[in-house]
A and B are shown apart, each in its own frame.
Chain A
Amino acid sequence: MIPAPFEYFAPATIDEALGLLREHSDAKVLAGGQSLMPALRLRLAAPDTIVDLGKIDELRGVRDDGDVLVIGAMTPHSVVQASPAVNEHARLISLATATVGDPQIRHRGTFGGSLAHADPAADLPAVAVALDASFVIAGTQGRRTVSAADFFQGVFSTALGEDELLVEVRVPKYTGWGAHYEKFNRVAQAWSIVSVAAAVRLDGDSIAEARVALGNMGSTPVRATAVEEALVGRPATADAVREAAARAADGTSPVTDLNGDADYRRHLATVLTRRAVLAAAGTA
């Protein structure tokens, strides 16, 4: 199928894009389009207006800002994946990005687009929550910053207002931390049934700090704080990690769907958390 007709704009600046969003109340923002295009073609979405961010150069690129890495919202996954700075300071992002879609999708799909889409089964939202990233949002009144935990509000729903844009994501540096992204799905390209993003800092043989977040265990990514607390101060051994990972599903309410029921997801969360934390500790 082809999309329903729409009016198309390709602004060259963020301000121009914000103006268009204010003027057109039914406008949809087009980033890389790897989720939006299929939705348009299946006519799951039929907006009157499309505002394409593809010509706004200031939204692209990764830069170092002291203690923080700044990733422009329109930076393609393939660029994030290949970035030495991301690999050094936020390896969890490199690892998770390498599993998004397939190579063609990673050439077009963008870091910010994937986050703003807020699919509960997507890879990057849980990573952003695990790493305590901050989301910089531009509106006609200026800019505001929202934590990853507050950005994701529900299925396909975020803190972004209708006339606002996600412009960049600020990620604290986790230099020297071990990281691993573990997801479980049935076939290539399938969405995760459950995914786990883990980063740990070791002090000798024991875990000094841990960040663990779960994907698709609810309508938004879930930070597994019980696991993090249970890991701190413990040795990075199979037994200790297994014990901590047993709490991964505490307080979660995953959905039951054709890929698995809620109990299955809760069990999977503990298994994948154990694998992710052990693998992360192994690379620290």
Chain B
Amino acid sequence: MTRITVKVDGSSFTDEVEPRTLLVHYLREQLGKTGTVVGCDTGNCGSCTVHLDGRSIKSCSLLAVQADGHEVTTIEGLGSNGQLHPMQQAFHENHALQCGYCTPGMIMQSIDLLADNPDPSEDDVRLGIEGNLCRCTGYQNIVKAVRAAAAAGGAQ
């Protein structure tokens, strides 16, 4: 077992973990943060996307021990005081989800995208969410939602 200290969604956690524990399993099973989901388990689908030190990563492709000393933000850390994050609000208003399984990862990646490019074109959005798969929506409303969030100043 290896001792790690990680800040997750604003709170600091110190835990003993087996080195082979994936970050996503640590978040879900040890911290109970089941908002982040496991989709493909092969690094392709992006549904487990979280932020590590403010940048998007796939939490199935990182060991929990690699997050030692770093800061993680999950979908559960976005809203505040019962208020949705502007990106969550835009997904809600634009019907950017059907089954919802890809949504946590889509939202985390879309926020990362706006951090680099606050006013993305439709093509920029499609390229920016290249690493996130959705099998319901055909992506149309997801792209619409990301651009709506950008227009509403969702980059902050």
A residues with a Cβ closer than 8 A to B are 1-8, 10, 30, 33-34, 37-38, 40-42, 50, 52, 54, 78, 101-105, 107-108, 188-189
Q: Which of B20, B43, B52, B56 contacts A2 (CB 8 A)?
A: B20
Q: Which of B18, B62, B65, B131 contacts A102 (CB 8 A)?
A: B131
Pairs of residues from A and B, 9 with the lowest C-beta to C-beta distance, nearest first: A102-B131, A8-B19, A3-B20, A37-B61, A107-B55, A102-B130, A104-B58, A104-B56, A104-B131
A188 B130 Cβ-Cβ under 8 A: yes
26 contacts between A and B (CB under 8 A): A2-B22, A6-B19, A7-B19, A8-B19, A8-B65, A33-B62, A33-B66, A37-B22, A37-B43, A37-B63, A41-B22, A42-B42, A52-B63, A52-B65, A78-B55, A102-B46, A103-B109, A103-B112, A103-B128, A104-B56, A105-B43, A107-B55, A108-B57, A108-B58, A108-B61, A188-B130
**B residues less than 8 Å from A33 (CB atoms):** 61-63, 66
Given A33-B66, A52-B65, residue A103 in contact with residue B56 (CB < 8 A):
yes
B155 at the interface (CB under 8 A from A): no
B residues with a Cβ closer than 8 A to A are 2, 18-22, 25, 41-44, 46, 49, 52, 55-58, 60-63, 65-66, 68, 109, 112-113, 128, 130-132
CA distance A189 to B18 in the complex (A): 31
CA distance A40 to B63 in the complex (A): 11
CA distance A101 to B43 in the complex (A): 10
CA distance A7 to B49 in the complex (A): 26
Measured CB to CB, the closest approach of chain B to A79, in angstroms, equals: 10
**A residues less than 8 Å from B25 (CB atoms):** 2
**A residues less than 8 Å from B42 (CB atoms):** 38, 41-42
**B residues less than 8 Å from A38 (CB atoms):** 42-43, 61
Count contacts between A and B, CB distance < 8 Å: 85
Measured CB to CB, the closest approach of chain A to B43, in angstroms, equals: 5
A33-B61, A52-B63, A103-B113 are known; give 15 further A-B pairs, CB within 8 A.
A1-B41, A8-B2, A33-B66, A34-B61, A37-B22, A40-B20, A41-B60, A50-B19, A54-B66, A104-B46, A105-B61, A107-B56, A108-B62, A189-B130, A189-B131
Q: Which of A2, A7, A37 contacts B62 (CB 8 A)?
A: A37
CA distance A30 to B42 in the complex (A): 17
CA distance A256 to B95 in the complex (A): 45
A107 B22 Cβ-Cβ under 8 A: no
**B residues less than 8 Å from A108 (CB atoms):** 52, 57-58, 61-62
Measured CB to CB, the closest approach of chain B to A32, in angstroms, equals: 9
CA distance A103 to B130 in the complex (A): 8
CA distance A165 to B68 in the complex (A): 23
Measured CB to CB, the closest approach of chain B to A228, in angstroms, equals: 31
Q: Which of B20, B43, B55 contacts A4 (CB 8 A)?
A: B20
B57 A104 Cβ-Cβ under 8 A: yes
Identify the closest chain B residue to A107 (Cβ): B55
Identify the closest chain A residue to B25 (Cβ): A2
CA distance A41 to B60 in the complex (A): 9
**A residues less than 8 Å from B43 (CB atoms):** 34, 37-38, 105
CA distance A41 to B20 in the complex (A): 9
CA distance A10 to B70 in the complex (A): 14
Measured CB to CB, the closest approach of chain B to A8, in angstroms, equals: 3
A105 B58 Cβ-Cβ under 8 A: yes
**A residues less than 8 Å from B57 (CB atoms):** 104, 107-108
Identify the closest chain A residue to B66 (Cβ): A54
Measured CB to CB, the closest approach of chain B to A256, in angstroms, equals: 25
Given A37-B43, A103-B56, A103-B109, residue A5 in contact with residue B49 (CB < 8 A):
no
**B residues less than 8 Å from A103 (CB atoms):** 56, 109, 112-113, 128, 130-131
Identify the closest chain A residue to B21 (Cβ): A2
Measured CB to CB, the closest approach of chain A to B4, in angstroms, equals: 10
**B residues less than 8 Å from A40 (CB atoms):** 20
CA distance A30 to B60 in the complex (A): 15
CA distance A1 to B24 in the complex (A): 12
Identify the closest chain A residue to B55 (Cβ): A107
Q: Which of A10, A52, A78, A104 contacts B109 (CB 8 A)?
A: A104
